[in-house]
Structure 1
């Protein structure tokens, strides 16, 4: 293999990749109990928006809104990963809920998900990977 198998992406490239997908994972932590949840989402400006029902995720976000969000993709040649860190807040104003209702964001699972949450991203980073064989540990 020639070249670097890992490329650090710019913020702009990371946002473009984040916008290209609709399934990601959110990491939340309450006390010493971290959790991770898959969810569908949309990017609205520079915020990540998702819907959720009452439960562990929403309760956790109300206790500690600091979150990490990850999205990735891969094929046989390589892949990429984008990590966004920020603060998640439930959308509560009538106007903001009406605007969120207009986003292309529908639940994938037939459950009640009337709560919108927006993640304000403070830090975003991305990496692109080229797959290949492991280098020799002790080159000759």
Structure 2
């Protein structure tokens, strides 16, 4: 048996955070009752948490009803790809010292709207996968065991 890794490799927590810190756009998944929503948000990794800004609206309302969220970030090139999923709890920052500190992180809206509320996602768990891209194996030929 070969010692080379397969086309899918689990990432360590450290590798997940490294990849999260390399990106600015993720997807926030919320759930209220039986309804799931997904929102693209620009973000920063702040230590080992995720921080984004938002305005009053459905996203913020849904987080007050149920603070359990998923947050996904991914990227790819011609040769590889990866995906990191954060499962956690989101809460709006309401402490003035926390808000002032968050203001110093340089997180700015991508669209010309006012977003006064910072939201922090505190991870409960983190998982990631790295993928080697390549052609599909022959589905009908002789397969190696």
Range class of TM-score, shorter chain: over 0.9
- Per the alignment, in what secondary structure is the counterpart of residue 29 of structure 1? strand
CA distance in 1, matches of 2:101, 2:30: 25
- Per the alignment, in what secondary structure is the counterpart of residue 84 of structure 2? strand
Q: What is the RMSD of the two structures over their aligned residues, measured on CA atoms? A: 1.1
**TM-score, normalised to structure 2's length?**
0.92
Q: Which residue of 1 aligns with 2:7?
A: 5
Consecutive unaligned residues of structure 2, counting only runs of 5 or more, are none
Task: State whether structure 2 residue 91 is matched by structure 1 residue 78.
Answer: no
The Cα offsets for residues 26-83 of structure 1, whole Å up to 9 and x where unpaired, read as 0001111100000100011111000000101000000000000000100111211010
State the structure with more CA Rg.
2
1:119 pairs with one of 121, 129, 140 = 121
CA distance in 2, matches of 1:101, 1:3: 42
State the shift of 1:3 in Å: 4.6
Q: Which residue of 1 aligns with 2:107?
A: 105
Structure 1 runs, 4 residues or longer, greater than 3 Å off: none
**TM-score, normalised to structure 1's length?**
0.95
The Cα offsets for residues 72-126 of structure 1, whole Å up to 9 and x where unpaired, read as 1001112110101100000001111111111120011101100000000111111
| 1:55-66 mapped onto 2 (5 Å cutoff) | 55-66=57-68
Q: Which residue of 2 aligns with 1:41?
A: 43
